[in-house]
Amino acid sequence: MTVLRSAGKNKNNKDKGRNVLLHQCATATLLFGLGAAVGASDLRANELVPPAFEIAQQENDNQDKFLILQTNLHPPYQELQNGLLGGYSISVLNCAFERIGVGYGLAVAPRQRNRDMVRSGRADGFFLARISDFMDEYAVATHPLALEKWVWVSPSSNVVSSKARHLPKPGEFTTIGAILGSNEAEWLSEQGYEDVMRVPSIASLVSQVAAGRVDFALVDKQSFEIARNDLGLGAEQFLVQFERYAPLVVYFSKRYVETYPDLLGKLNNVLEFCETRPMHLEPWERDAIERIQLPIVRQFAKSKDLIRNVRAVLGTEHIPSDQKRVIDEEWTALSRRGLASSMAQNILDNILSDYLQTFKNTAGAQVAEVFVFDLAGQVIGMNRLTSDFDQSDEVQYQMTDSINRDHALIADIRYDASTRTFLSQITVPIIDPESGRTLAALTVGLDVSAALRPES
C-alpha cells in the first residue's frame, strides 16, 4: 500500500528545517519509496521550482528512516533525463536503498548550499563529495560510489602551449579555473592555489579555457568530455594532463547517523553489489603499470622465498566442489562484516600470508592487497582478508594454466570492498623453476589513487 503525504506533514519531517530543505531547493527532483521517481518534465538547471511536492512513500518497517539527500547536477553522475534526475550515482543509490528497504528523497541545489545544509543540520546528507578532513568534522562518509579522474585542461593554441606542457604549481603566475563550490575547487584551495577563478558551470569553464582566458582548469575528465562535445569543441583544441583519482562518497550528517546508527553499515554492505561500471584503463595507464609495477610483480613471483612458502602451504588433498562452495559462502558472508571464517583465519596465520604481508609493507601505499591462489582457484595465502575464497570464477584464474606462464593479466579499475580502495589487479603465474609447471598464481592489487599519481 502506498500512502501520499505532503512534505510538510510527513511524520519523518519533524522539524522545520526539513520543510525548509524542500522549499529552498533551487531545482529539485525528488525520488521516493525505494527508488520510484517523481519529476517535472520542464525542469531546468537554473529555474526555481515552487515548493509543491508530495511524497509517495512505501509503507514498511524502515519508514521512520526516510531521509533527504542533497545533490547537484553533475553529468554523467547526476543529470536530468527526460525531466527526471538520473545518472550513474543515482542508479547506484536506487539499487542500494532498495536492497536495504529504506525510502529516500533527492533535492537538487548548488554544491556549496548542499554542504551548508548538512553542516547546519537542515539535510540528512549530500553527494557526491570527495573525502576530506573538513567534511569529516560534521558528517560521516560511505564507501565510495564512484571514482573521478581529475585532469588539467589547457588550451592547445601556440600562444600558451609552451607553458601548458607542465602541471601548474601553487604560486605560479598563471590563471587557474575550477567550478564554483566543486570538489576540485576545494582541493585547489587546500593545496595552496590562490586567486582561483571560480565559474558557475562546467560549460562556462570549458568555454573560458577554449577562449584562452583560463590557462588551466582542473575538472573531472568525463564531465569535461561531455561539456566539450555539447559545446561543439574539438579534442584538438585542448591539452589534457592527468592530476589524480578522487574517490567520491555520500556524506551523512552526524545527527542522522546518531539517530539511525545501523543504516550506514547496511548501505556500505550492499554498495559493492550495485557498482556496475568499472573504469577502463587508458593506454597510458596500462603502459605505466606494465613499465613500472609489472616488472616488480614478476620479480616477486620468481623469488625463491615466495616459491618456498607457496610449496609449504600447498595442499595435497582435493576439496570436493560442494565443500568448496560451503567454505566460500561462509568466507564471503563473514568477510562482508569484516570477520574471518575459521578457514580464512587459518590461512591468515600461515607462513605464506606472513611473507605476503612483509611484501605489502615494503611496497607501501601503492599496493593495497596481495594474495596467492592454487590451481583449483583456492586462496592459500593473503596479506589481509579477501572478499572470497574461490577464485575459479574470476578472469585471473586463467593464469593458473601453464600455457600462460609468460603472460600477465592487468585488470581494469574497480572498487574492492575488502580493501575499500579502487584497484587494478595484476595477476601472474608462480612457476616451479625445476619443472617449469605452474604452482599457483599471484595477484597484486594496485591502489590506483596512489600508484598512478604523476609523482608516483
pLDDT digits (tens, 9 = 90+) for 290-335: 999 999 999 999 999 999 999 999 976 678 889 999 999 999 888 8
Higher pLDDT, 72 or 15: 72
Cβ atoms within 10 A of the Cβ of 41, count? 8
**Residue 447's closest CA among 244, 236, 271, 296?**
244
The pLDDT tens digits of the residues spanning 198-222 come to 998 999 999 999 999 999 999 999 9
Let me know: does 77 contact 127? Beta carbons within 8 Å. no
Q: Looking at domain 2-144+248-274, which of 2.60.40.2130, 3.40.50.300, 3.40.190.10, 3.30.450.20 is its CATH number?
A: 3.40.190.10
What architecture is the 148-247 domain classified under in CATH? Answer: 3-Layer(aba) Sandwich (3.40)
Contacts of 254 (CB under 8 A, 6+ apart): 138, 139, 140
What is the C-alpha separation between 280 and 412, in angstroms, rounded? Answer: 5
pLDDT cut 90: percent of the chain above it: 45
The pLDDT tens digits of the residues spanning 124-161 come to 999 989 888 888 899 999 988 888 899 999 998 744 44
What is the C-alpha separation between 79 and 246, in angstroms, rounded? Answer: 20
* SS3 call for 175: coil
What is the C-alpha separation between 76 and 276, in angstroms, rounded? Answer: 14
Query: In this predicted structure, what is the pLDDT of residue 136?
Result: 87
- What residue type is 377 in one-letter code? G
Q: Give the bridge partners for 244, in sequence order.
A: 150
Q: Would you place residue 398 in the very low, low, confident or very high pLDDT band (cuts 50, 70, 90)?
A: confident
What does the DSSP 8-state code read for residue 279?
Answer: B
What is the C-alpha separation between 236 and 226, in angstroms, rounded? Answer: 15
What is the C-alpha separation between 309 and 313, in angstroms, rounded? Answer: 7
Q: Do domains 2-144+248-274 and 148-247 have the same CATH topology?
A: yes
Contacts of 328 (CB under 8 A, 6+ apart): 388, 389, 390
What is the C-alpha separation between 371 and 78, in angstroms, rounded? Answer: 36
Q: Where are the domains of the chain?
A: 2-144+248-274, 148-247, 283-451
Q: Give the bridge partners for 338, in sequence order.
A: none
Grid coordinates of 400: 593458473
Helix (H) or strand (E) holding 106: strand 104-108
| pTM summary value | 0.70
What are the phi and psi torsion angles at 127 (to 5°)?
Answer: -155, 165
Give whole-number Cα distances, 332 to 385, 395, 441, in Å. Answer: 10, 18, 20
- The CATH topology of domain 283-451 is Beta-Lactamase (3.30.450)
The pLDDT tens digits of the residues spanning 170-181 come to 878 789 999 988
